[in-house]
Structure 1
Amino acid sequence: MSETALRNESATATALPAREDRVQWLLESIQRNRFLPQPAPDSVFVGDGDFKAVGAEFLGHFIRMGGLQPESRVLDIGCGIGRMAVPLTQYLDLEKGRYSGIDPVEGGIAWCRRFITPAYPNFAFQRVDIAHDLYNPKGKISGKALKLPYADRHFDFVIMTSVVTHLPPDEVLIYLSEVGRLLKSGGRLFMTAFVVDPIAATNETGRRDTRLAFQRDGDGPCWFVPELPPLAAVGFDDGFLDNALRRAGLTTALKSFGSWRGQQADHYQDVFVAEYRGGGR
């Protein structure tokens, strides 16, 4: 089946679950596609693993767990150097689907504008000069005063992969408030995180990823890795993100713990899918 046929079938059956055989075919075709843009390994400044394989994996999660549709308007907060954008070029409808990626790192945005947008004009990238101790220490916009450059109720789907894992709690609240403002009624947020529940905190079996030796930071909800800069990896008390989503007017539709904590899962970080249902804000 051609990619066009897959898109057309998906567009005419948006209320139905994605067919697993077609989703799997799409993901495999992305990984085999030698013509998709891919940055040089030494220019990938965020994320571990194979660029194309990780991107394809997440596209599968967006469709299966998040219910992403080909005609969606998508906002990718912290788009980096296009790891999520590249596979989405093969799924979003060229005429109806739209993608907007934002990031504070100029190099990643410049690469995406050069190698993605010319072939896929429905994909736009914008640098937002948000200050961050690790990624953009000289940024002019405080995360506590963030106002994203989009109109209210503009997006159907917002992506925040490995974003709250690098934010302090007060900024998490601001980011999620912005997501609540931007989502249309019925729109969804796909967010990854490290949730430190009692099992993850005690790590009784010793199976947790050894790179994430989280320790609580004072009396707050944050957990940091002692050997790393504080925002290199941030975990939160179980319940903190649930409450933050509610404060932003979002309802959690899915909460799935990841394999980082030593359990079986088909995703590494913990995953939240939350929905804006309209009204009440």
Structure 2
Amino acid sequence: MNAVVALHQPEEVRPVLSKDISLLLDYIESNRFLPTPPDGSIFVGDGDYRAIGAEFLRHFVEIGGLRRSHRVLDIGCGIGRMAVPLTQFIHPERGSYEGFDPVLEGIEWCTRTITGAYPNFRFQCLDVAHAIYNPKGSVSGEELIFPYGDSAFDFAVMTSVATHLMPAELTVYAREIHRVLAPGGRLFLTAFVVDASALDGQGRDPRLGFERAGEGPCWHADKDAPLAAVGFDDGFIDGLLLDAGFRIERKSLGHWRGRSAAHYQDVFVAVRSGGER
């Protein structure tokens, strides 16, 4: 009996093997039928749109513990760079995806291009003010309330968002993520953690010569555009997540600082208190 049960575990508890995710990522990168935004419309950073999305899918699964049956929230979903590869992973019936962003053009493209083919993927625009992405927004990031119910998600993605927020805003985001995650739900967050290795300059990305802003905990790479790249004192995000009710499962420093790593930005994986998933 035990052997039969082990062979037929429900999908929710079966691990995704590295070889399986590697095959899927090869398929995603080579599939010319998967949607890609037109040139000039990608506002979510440099690099290859499809390759970066596939890379993050690997991180979500292998570092973050994402499962096909998870209800996923993508905070700052942009123009679908994370969503497109996730369409090939999230189960069409047992899993789901919600994304929001302040840039209307990105949401319109995602809704038109992705939701039409994958109805369990939904997108909405929130008019959150941001000096770079939505300067005329009607809602302050310090007053933001996510438009979702309590415990609505199992996995939250926050890639390259904390790198464009001030501390008070990031505190609000952490609180709201904790609210909308189910007990045991998981947060995958990327950031720039400014520690001694980031400041010594050996092999560091030359674009990220962070300078302290005031008394901390912020560091800015460009004083003329402070929200273009925001770093935080080592320990600040850790404390913020703990205060919001998370347990930090993993903290992995990235190769932007000139050290060997499997990912560019620094990665936090945090678990909402109250259970495991």
Give the TM-score normalised by structure 1: 0.93
Distance of aligned partners of 1:100 and 1:136 in 2 relative to their CA distance in 1, 3 Å threshold? same
Distance of aligned partners of 1:123 and 1:179 in 2 relative to their CA distance in 1, 3 Å threshold? same
| Corresponding letter in the other structure for 1:251 | R
Q: Percent identity between the aligned chains? A: 57
Give the 3-state SS of the residue equivalent to 2:91 in structure 1: coil
| Corresponding letter in the other structure for 1:185 | P
Instruction: Give yes or no for contact 2:72–2:97 (8 Å, CA) kept in 1.
Output: yes
CA distance in 2, matches of 1:11, 1:234: 43
Partner residue in 2 for 1:263 = 259
Partner residue in 2 for 1:239 = 235
Q: Provide, for residues 12-70 of structure 1, a one-character-per-residue CA deviation record: whole Å limited to 9, x for no partner.
A: 35334321111100010001111101001210011211110000000000000011011
Partner residue in 2 for 1:170 = 168
C-alpha displacement of 1:227: 5.2
CA distance in 2, matches of 1:18, 1:152: 28
C-alpha displacement of 1:199: 1.7
Q: Report the count of equivalent residues.
A: 269
Partner residue in 1 for 2:108 = 110
CA distance in 1, matches of 2:147, 2:14: 33
1:24-39 equivalences in 2 (<5 Å): 24-39=22-37
Q: Does 1:223 align with 2:219?
A: yes
| Corresponding letter in the other structure for 2:122 | A
Runs of 5+ unmatched residues, structure 1 = 1-8
Instruction: Give yes or no for contact 2:158–2:187 (8 Å, CA) kept in 1.
Output: yes
Partner residue in 1 for 2:44 = 46
Distance of aligned partners of 1:245 and 1:10 in 2 relative to their CA distance in 1, 3 Å threshold? farther
1:52-91 equivalences in 2 (<5 Å): 52-91=50-89
Instruction: Give yes or no for contact 2:222–2:228 (8 Å, CA) kept in 1.
Output: no
Instruction: Give yes or no for contact 2:11–2:69 (8 Å, CA) kept in 1.
Output: no
Q: Provide, for residues 59-114 of structure 1, a one-character-per-residue CA deviation record: whole Å limited to 9, x for no partner.
A: 00000001101111000000000000000000000011110000000000000011
Q: Does 1:23 align with 2:49?
A: no
C-alpha displacement of 1:10: 10
Partner residue in 2 for 1:202 = 200
Give the 3-state SS of the residue equivalent to 1:55 in structure 2: helix
CA distance in 1, matches of 2:223, 2:39: 25
Q: Provide, for residues 120-149 of structure 1, a one-character-per-residue CA deviation record: whole Å limited to 9, x for no partner.
A: 000000000000011001000111111000
| Corresponding letter in the other structure for 2:40 | D
**The one of 209, 218, 243 aligned to 1:213:** 209
1:126-145 equivalences in 2 (<5 Å): 126-145=124-143
CA distance in 2, matches of 1:11, 1:51: 35
Partner residue in 2 for 1:3 = none
Distance of aligned partners of 1:269 and 1:89 in 2 relative to their CA distance in 1, 3 Å threshold? same
Partner residue in 1 for 2:250 = 254
Give the 3-state SS of the residue equivalent to 1:26 in structure 2: helix
Instruction: Give yes or no for contact 1:176–1:245 (8 Å, CA) kept in 2.
Output: yes
| Corresponding letter in the other structure for 1:125 | F
CA distance in 2, matches of 1:193, 1:180: 18
CA distance in 1, matches of 2:8, 2:231: 36
Runs of 5+ unmatched residues, structure 2 = 1-6
CA distance in 1, matches of 2:63, 2:9: 18
CA distance in 1, matches of 2:74, 2:233: 25
Q: Give the stretch that moved more between structures: 224-233 or 9-18.
A: 9-18
| Corresponding letter in the other structure for 1:218 | G
Partner residue in 2 for 1:96 = 94
Give the 3-state SS of the residue equivalent to 1:18 in structure 2: coil
CA distance in 2, matches of 1:264, 1:228: 30
CA distance in 1, matches of 2:187, 2:260: 24
| Corresponding letter in the other structure for 1:136 | N
Distance of aligned partners of 1:115 and 1:74 in 2 relative to their CA distance in 1, 3 Å threshold? same
Give the 3-state SS of the residue equivalent to 2:100 in structure 1: strand
CA distance in 2, matches of 1:170, 1:201: 24
